[in-house]
Amino acid sequence: MITGNEFRERLAKLKPNVYMGGKRVDRFDPRLLGGMNVMAATYDFAHDPEFQEVGVAISHLTGDKINRFCHLHQSMEDLIHKQKMTRLYSQEVGGCIQRCMGIDALNGVSIVSYEADQKYGTRYYRNFVDFLKKVQKEDLSLNCAQTDVKGNRPWRPHQQKDPDLYLRVVEKKADGIIVNGAKAHNSCSVYVDEIVAIPTRSLTPEEKDWAVAFSVPSDWEGVTIINASYSPSKRKKLDCPYVNFGASHSITVFDHVFVPWERVFLCGETELAGKLALLFALYHRHSYTGCKAALSEIFTGATALAAEYNGIDKAQHVRHKLAEMIQIVDLIYSSGVAAAVHSVKTPSGTYVPDSNFCNAGRMLAGENIYEEYESLAAIAGGLVATLPSEDDFYNEKTAPYLEKYIMRDPNVSAEHQHRAFRLFQDMMASAWGGHKLVDALHGGGSPVIEKVAIYRDHNIERSKNIAKKLAGIPYQGSTKKLDRKFPWLS
Ligand SMILES: Cc1cc2nc3c(=O)[nH]c(=O)nc-3n(C[C@H](O)[C@H](O)[C@H](O)COP(=O)(O)OP(=O)(O)OC[C@H]3O[C@@H](n4cnc5c(N)ncnc54)[C@H](O)[C@@H]3O)c2cc1C
């Protein structure tokens, strides 16, 4: 297991292929450092004695101690540790931990590449295991490039006027494949070692060219990263942990990229491509039951602090509001725990969480983010949006006025009042806060997609049978067992 600084040293060796603000930029551009600090923290946390139980796993391949982000879930407990790790780490960095992309992609690919080898005699799983050994030994960080740019939404990949709107194979050669296209909304692609590309949706038999999964280094020939970065603004005087972190997202272009066969995990198996798309989404929604529980708790804590500093923490309506927020935190987290408890072991040996519980938790999280912003804004008041700049708090003329007039509870110093409202402003009334609002809704899949999954994976006939039974209407089958659907075993 390497440290955050060793990770940074490795990044420094990558070839420059990142564009931002109309220019090619260095990976150590100041705008990228916030997000890079998050990724580096995932390395340092694994060395923190307090995080050992959640952050470190034992490789089932080698028996070595590895960073959990490089691990395949071998049990229900592994899934619970991953969820808990995601929540605790996200709390430390004030939001998205980013590296979950990698562990979620690895677990999804392990299942479908194994199934492909069993079904078609391919060697994708062997490719994958060799890749996984490298990931674990070198402690590599991975991004998952799933979401295609998708063109006209109602059209399938093969119906688009430009077939490159979904990443596809344009040529197969003796030593590898050539892929062309672009992936959208690619989080952390600028500061990871490898980009794992997988399909974004289910595919029909004529869509073999789009059924492709592989991994390449993030500075690979033909890969161009067009990036957008967000971080809370740096402080001049009142430095704090929150402003040291950030996030980056890109359109990642694959311009006729050569991928050697040993890096290919799927190529043309359309039904497995669809399964991989769903599996990654499922693992990623399970990760959200950790990170989004953390984000919701950060909002809960901030709202409680605002209430205390405003002197309204004993008001009944404030306590009701906080109770509602706590309930959401607990429900999101418990859906992930339930999904782990109801996980199943696939033929590859990798455990997969329950679909309905994951999707229910992720949907609840996505839909409630706007409520959480509203709660903090309602309790904190308008100062969140109108807080004068930090410079004004230190200007000779205006500082005494601001220190006098920011006061609320006289037991709380002016500096602490200022610090708290500066945090609330960073969280909501900033470019960073606005970006988080969309991230928390769409990241891991829009709520409408979760509704599709929830309906698909719930046994609605059984639900109807319960109603029929109570109404005295004949029905087929039994309702005497709680049943879950396990589409991943077939
Ligand atoms: C901050 C952030 C980070 C992300 N990070 C990653 C990442 O690292 N890797 C990755 O792969 N993805 C990532 N995502 C992508 C995320 O999974 C997608 O945003 C999400 O799946 C929605 O896709 P979309 O943004 O393309 O929206 P769209 O698909 O364009 O959806 C917009 C709306 O159109 C609707 N719609 C779409 N298609 C149809 C149709 N055929 N018929 C009717 N309605 C339709 C949708 O339901 C939705 O309401 C990230 C997203 C965000 C916001």
In the block, residue with structure tokens 């005295």: 472
* Ligand 1 pocket residue status of 247, Cβ below 6 Å: no
Q: Which domains are delineated in the chain?
A: 279-455 (1.20.140.10), 459-489 (no CATH)
The CA–CA distances, whole Å, from 452 to 55, 201, 356, 458 equal: 33, 13, 10, 10
Which of 279, 282, 442, when mutated, tests ligand 1's pocket best, judged by the most ligand atoms within 8 Å of its CB? 442
Mutate to test the pocket of ligand 1, among 142, 147, 188, 438 (most ligand atoms within 8 A of CB): 147
Q: Are 469 and 475 in contact (CB under 8 A)?
A: yes
Q: How far apart are CA 342 and CA 339, in angstroms?
A: 5
> Which residue of 446, 451, 452 sits with most ligand 1 atoms within 8 Å of its CB, as the best mutation to test the pocket?
446
Nearest Cα residue to atom 51 of ligand 1: 443
Strand segments, DSSP code E, in 188-262 are 194-197, 212-217, 223-230, 247-260
Contacts of 107 (CB under 8 A, 6+ apart): 72, 73, 279, 283, 350, 352
For residue 173, the 8-state DSSP code is -
Evaluate: CB of 408 within 6 angstroms of ligand 1. no
User: What pLDDT sits at residue 489?
Assistant: 67
**What is the biggest distance separating any 2 CA atoms in the chain, rounded to whole angstroms?**
82
User: By C-alpha distance, which of 323, 354, 363, 349 is closest to 336?
Assistant: 354
Helices (H) and strands (E) counted in the chain, each on its own, are: 16, 14
Does the CB atom of residue 362 touch ligand 1 within 6 A?
no
Which of 96, 153, 191 should be mutated for ligand 1, with most atoms under 8 A from CB? 153
Which phi and psi angles does 65 have, rounded to 5°?
-75, 130
CA of 185 to the centre of ligand 1 (A): 8
Q: Given strand 168-172, what is the order of strands in its sheet?
A: 23-25, 18-20, 223-230, 247-260, 176-187, 168-172
The answer to whether the beta carbons of residues 268 and 199 sit under 8 Å apart is no
From the alpha carbon of 449, which atom of ligand 1 is closest?
Answer: 47
* Residue type at 72 in one-letter notation: L
Q: Compute CA distances 182 → 150, 163, 341, whole Å.
A: 9, 11, 37
Give whole-number Cα distances, 323 to 237, 281, 294, 363, 436, in Å: 35, 30, 16, 20, 23
Residue whose CA lies nearest to ligand 1 atom number 53:
439
**Ligand 1 neighbour 235 (Cβ under 6 A):** no
Return the best residue to mutate from 101, 150, 165, 185 for the ligand 1 pocket (most ligand atoms within 8 A of CB). 185
Tens of pLDDT along the chain (490 residues) come to 999 999 999 999 999 999 999 999 999 999 999 999 999 999 999 999 999 999 999 999 999 999 999 999 999 999 999 999 999 999 999 999 999 999 999 999 999 999 999 999 999 999 999 999 999 999 999 999 999 999 999 999 999 999 999 999 999 999 999 999 999 999 999 999 999 999 999 999 999 999 999 999 999 999 999 999 999 999 999 999 999 999 999 999 999 999 999 999 999 999 999 999 999 999 999 999 999 999 999 999 999 999 999 999 999 999 999 999 999 999 999 999 999 999 999 999 999 999 999 999 999 999 899 999 999 999 999 999 999 999 999 999 999 999 999 999 999 999 999 999 999 999 999 999 999 989 988 888 888 888 998 998 898 999 999 999 999 999 998 888 887 776 666 6
How remote is the CA of residue 434 from the centroid of ligand 1, in Å?
17
Nearest CA to ligand 1 atom 41: 154
The whole-angstrom separation of Cα 140 and Cα 131 is 10
Ligand 1 close to Cβ of residue 136 (< 6 A): no
Measured from the CA of 187, which atom of ligand 1 is nearest? 8
| Nearest atom within ligand 1 for CA of residue 281 | 17
